[in-house]
Structure 1
Amino acid sequence: MTQSNEPARTPGTPAPGDAAPTLYGGRGSRRVTVRDIAAAKRRGEKWPMLTAYDAMTAAVFDEAGIPVLLVGDSAGNAHLGYDSTVPVTLDQMIMLSAAVVRGTRRTLVVGDLPFGSYQEGPVQALRNATRLMKEAGVGAVKLEGGERSAEAIDLLVRSGIPVMAHVGLTPQSVNAYGGHPVQGRGDEAAQQLRRDAKAVQDAGAFAVVLELVTGDLAAEVTGELVIPTVGIGAGAQCDAQVLVWTDMAGMTDWPGGRKPRFVKEYARLREVLGDAAKAFAEDVVEGGYPAPEHSFR
């Protein structure tokens, strides 16, 4: 066994020339890992997560310093034109996840296990999570469910696959919910959510998404867990926050204008792209494009 002359480091802190000690905006020569996520929880550092579904958009977010990108099955709604996440296939998730990995250098890329790819049990979950890691190159996977998914999480983690869990509203169960109700209201519902969060932590998940959970309950769960919570519609006290990037950037066309309460638009890219397309079309129709400088001699 060889000995290193480097000084001892606190777990979670980077080596010289490696990733910055903060998650957001850090620069370095390696990808963010689950150890960095754990260290951020110990420091009390909040961090952002966005979804991404293609290499070009992922590269923009990576360059902006976003430390974690989720290749979510939200691609069903935001990228593939489905009405829900349910139709998304594992092959589609592998293709999209591989593109995001290719477009990034630093961010931790988390690939979603879609509906039907793990519900049969731990062995199915391991088989399909292994495909996501081997074929797409993701650094972790995400799956929905608390106590009901604990055995699958345990097997994945013991097999060397980092897992981000997802409790509260789980969109793959939209047909069972009959919509998108806020979770954790009432003593019984609150206790179940606590049990779910504790179960995924005990099973080895490195983080847990809390979706559409009352703010007070999410704050309590965040304080009770050692692993970080990632909120989406779960109040301001979670350790991290995630948004679907097309919602965040103002690309989504909300049916009837009914934008969810938790969504904040930081740009109006739908208008920007629409204006650009119209300007191009008018330029073509009026003969302004291509101009001489756009042509070859």
Structure 2
Amino acid sequence: MVEEAERYRRELHVHCYRMLGSYTEAEDAVQETMVRAWRRAETYEGRSTYRAWLYKIATNVCLDLLAKRKDVVLSEAPMSDVPWLEPYPDDQLPEELAVARETIELAFLAVIQHLPARQRAVLVMRDVLGWPAEETAQALEMTVASVKSALQRGRGTLRKHLPERRSEWAAAVEPSAEEKLVLKRYVEASLKADMGTLAALLREDALQAMPPSMEFFPGRRAILEMWAPVMSGQEAWGEWRALTTTANRMPAVANYVRRPGEEHFSAVNLDVLRIEGGLIAEITTFPPATLASFGLPEKIFE
């Protein structure tokens, strides 16, 4: 039974990540799911698939964890209100599942973090996992009517706060050729501190959030004003290097800097880009601690 449960570890991790918004907390949740499944093995009666039984346990583990969190108020900048938000490495997504961008990208995750816990669980189980209302109600110990009501409210929140053009790239499972080209230009301009090119790559209404700091920069001008002292001028940090990757089905880049007098480049952050129409619409910048899950180094030596 333990070996059977291990077969589903990776997809359960993605499920817990959607529920919690945190890669690290999802790891803890999956481990607790495995422990509970082992302890309660005799309670599995075969009325549902073993996979569904594990998902029920995992969902309830997440609900237990969410009960310990303080509620957050949904603002016009959802990602700035979710300090625990972390990126997910694409190369760790289960190969056996076609994980579409619309169910894993950061904008979706940030918005559903603001839903009440059971409403979030209903939305994920119904619209992401595709569970019937009856099975969802049984797993969450709710009535079918309350499940349908929770789903309607959750969908309404998504429509209000998610990007308008999101449906156009819903089926994507990896960055497009256009997105890769924009990432390449973004990296090249960043390394050269080419503020003109960086400005041209940003939408006028671009947003940048920096979990867990809660910092938020709305608009191209605010972003450029924040970047300028770091990249050029008397306050410039030093020489930059970059390693590209993908996170949450979007292009991403790990940034490193070598300050004057240092022999190596140290990790600064990870930028995950949301690109629309050939321009950067959103940048979510994560601290260097997140690089470990991507298998990226803390330091680069040359």
Scaled by the length of structure 2, the TM-score of the pair is: 0.26
Task: Compare the two structures and name the one with the higher helix fraction.
Answer: 2
Higher strand share: 2
Q: TM-score, normalised by structure 1?
A: 0.26
